[in-house]
């Protein structure tokens, strides 16, 4: 709520950590210049200390405080997509804490597109480090209640901004090389980026420990989760069906079926909350129908593969 923003600013200025709604997922925010506050983020999440954090700013004028050697192409992307679900990897500015960058020479930065996040960032007037507000390796929260479930009393305050609109984490694009490289697919596609820049955009397919969201078993429910084609789902034996819940875009006969949208934007919006709720219900397995092979499903396919790979 907007009325809670002064309280959140006060807590952050005193070195506390605050859950902040963004358009993608909820973030766990701390003053990005305060090492003790950032340490609290790592402790609350149970996240390895060498994993870099994204800095969130409320105004593009602050970009030069965090990044240097910003290319015209990077600026073009910032202008085209900010505020919005795009994180730019840029050369870090001098003085940025190693805790933020995981000791790398680069920094991840974005302006989120959520009215409460923007109001908070404008009010505090400085950069906030904010990873997703989940325990390390788990599903990112897309509601305030989900943040509470994940972090409980480890977070000093939760700003409630309703359910996140986009529902999956931002697209991460590395702008430090010759051509842009997508490190994590999101709902802003490689094609949209290529269109703005009129340049070739590469995708990094190999897992890299530098991007924790790219570890195989990330975004994972606790319940065994498998991906299956509609044909496989249609031919499951009865005893399997009795203990599993099916998450599909097409209707089929099964005792426990969650029908998802056939539109990727709506599907992304619903995905994490659906998995989170199903994870509490004691099913033996969550069986998810594979999604189309087209680019508009890239981010969703990526998250589903990681959710399923844990087993
Ligand atoms: O949508 C989002 O990006 C959300 C919201 C809260 O903004 N944040 C988010 O943060 O997903 P996190 O920490 O869960 O994921 C950020 C990813 C991590 O995988 C991290 O490794 C990567 O960004 N990252 C951050 N700085 C980086 C850098 N300098 N180079 C490469 N990867 C970086
Ligand atoms: Mg995360």
Joined together, the tokens standing for residue 232 give: 């496989």
| Residues framing ligand 1 (Cβ under 6 A) | 22, 24-25, 27, 51-54, 85, 87, 89, 101, 104, 106-108, 112, 130-132, 169-170, 172, 183, 210-213
Q: Which of 131, 142, 158 to mutate to test the pocket of ligand 1 (most atoms within 8 A of CB)?
A: 131
Residue 137 CA to ligand 1 center (angstroms) comes to 13
Residue 214 CA to ligand 1 center (angstroms) comes to 10
Residue nearest to atom 10 of ligand 1 (CA): 131
Which ligand 1 atom is nearest residue 27's CA?
6
Residue nearest to atom 6 of ligand 1 (CA): 27
Query: What's this model's pTM, rounded to 2 decimal places?
Result: 0.95
Ligand number with the minimum distance to the CA of 52: 1
Tens place of pLDDT per residue across the chain (311 aa): 899 999 999 999 999 999 999 999 999 999 999 999 999 999 999 999 999 999 999 999 999 999 999 999 999 999 999 999 999 999 999 999 999 999 999 999 999 999 999 999 999 999 999 999 999 999 999 999 999 999 999 999 999 999 999 999 999 999 999 999 999 999 999 999 999 999 999 998 654 445 555 555 678 899 999 999 999 999 999 999 999 999 999 999 999 999 999 999 999 999 999 999 999 999 999 999 999 999 999 999 999 999 997 55
Ligand number with the minimum distance to the CA of 136: 2
Which ligand 1 atom is nearest residue 51's CA?
21
Ligand number with the minimum distance to the CA of 183: 1
């Amino acid at each position: 709520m907007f009325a809670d923003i002064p309280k959140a600013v006060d807590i952050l200025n005193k070195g506390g950590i605050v859950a902040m709604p963004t358009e993608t997922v909820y973030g766990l925010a701390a003053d990005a210049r305060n090492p003790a506050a950032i340490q609290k983020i790592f402790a609350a999440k149970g996240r390895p200390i060498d994993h870099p954090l994204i800095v969130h700013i409320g105004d593009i004028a602050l970009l030069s405080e965090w990044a240097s050697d910003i290319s015209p192409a990077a600026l073009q992307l910032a202008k085209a997509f900010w505020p919005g679900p795009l994180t730019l990897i840029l050369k870090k500015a001098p003085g940025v804490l190693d805790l933020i960058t995981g000791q790398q020479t680069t920094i991840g930065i974005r302006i989120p597109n959520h009215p409460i996040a923007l109001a908070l960032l404008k009010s505090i007037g400085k950069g906030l480090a904010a990873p997703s507000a989940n325990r390390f390796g788990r599903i990112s929260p897309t509601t305030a209640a989900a943040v509470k479930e994940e972090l409980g009393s480890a977070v000093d305050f939760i700003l409630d901004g309703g359910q996140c609109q986009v529902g999956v984490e931002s697209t991460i694009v590395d702008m430090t090389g010759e051509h842009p490289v997508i490190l994590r697919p999101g709902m802003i596609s490689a094609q949209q980026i290529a269109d703005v820049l009129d340049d070739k955009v590469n995708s990094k397919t190999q897992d890299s420990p530098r991007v924790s969201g790219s570890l195989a078993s990330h975004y994972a429910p606790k319940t065994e989760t498998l991906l299956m084609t509609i044909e496989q789902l249609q031919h499951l034996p009865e005893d399997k069906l009795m203990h599993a819940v099916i998450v599909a875009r097409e209707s089929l006969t099964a005792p426990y079926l969650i029908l998802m949208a056939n539109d990727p934007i709506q599907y992304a919006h619903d995905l994490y909350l659906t998995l989170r709720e199903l994870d509490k219900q004691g099913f033996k397995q969550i069986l998810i129908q594979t999604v189309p092979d087209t680019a508009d499903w890239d981010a969703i396919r990526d998250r589903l593969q990681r959710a399923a790979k844990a087993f």
